[in-house]
Amino acid sequence: MPENHGATHAVCPESSSRRPACAVPRRGNPQGRASAWRTLFVASLGFGMVGAGCASTGSQSAGNNTPARNSRVITSADLAEIMVSDAYQAVERLRPLWLLSESRANLFAAPEVVVLQNDRFFGNLQSLHQIPISPIREIRYMPGTEAMNQFPFLVGAVGRIVAAAIVVSIGAPGP
């Protein structure tokens, strides 16, 4: 009979012989298996949260070395990949949700998405049709409060309730 080296085995209910498959340690947590699964679950949940946090930084896409796309920016490289003639068509193709207003209406005016060109008020969404694709460097989306904080002239001066702003940058980057 092989040596036991201090391990104790329980007797299997099917027979009176001692078998290693029925081994149950006397010491330790009797719920060891459940505890191990719980620990594994908590650890994987923690790693998942850390992974989600790293993924949200947007530094790299998973699986390749290309930069992750920013959902609030359309770059000139993005524009080069599509065949459209104006900024409205580009936004409609690449970020269609930008064209929707999520704010509630007010008694006097409905909130709207405004367009700025080179940080100056340009018009409403339809004005994007007037901006050709070729000179665009970047198109950026800003929620209403962020846009009004960055561009204070939008508050009351244009007579609109700003739900969001689409900021189109044209020409060479500034200093």
Average pLDDT, the chain: 73
150-170 pLDDT per residue, tens = 998 887 655 678 889 999 999
What are the residue ranges spanned by the domains of the chain?
Answer: 1-68, 73-170
CA–CA separation, 39 vs 161, rounded Å? 51
- 71 φ/ψ sector (left φ>0, alpha ψ -120 to 50, else beta): alpha
Query: Cα torsion at 128, 131, 132, 135 (round to 10°)?
Result: -120
Q: Is the pLDDT of residue 28 over 60?
A: no
CB atoms within 10 A of CB 34: 10
115-159 pLDDT per residue, tens = 999 999 999 999 999 999 999 999 999 999 899 899 988 876 556
- Nearest of 144, 139, 150 to residue 104 by alpha carbon: 144
Phi/psi of residue 120, nearest 5 degrees: -125, 145
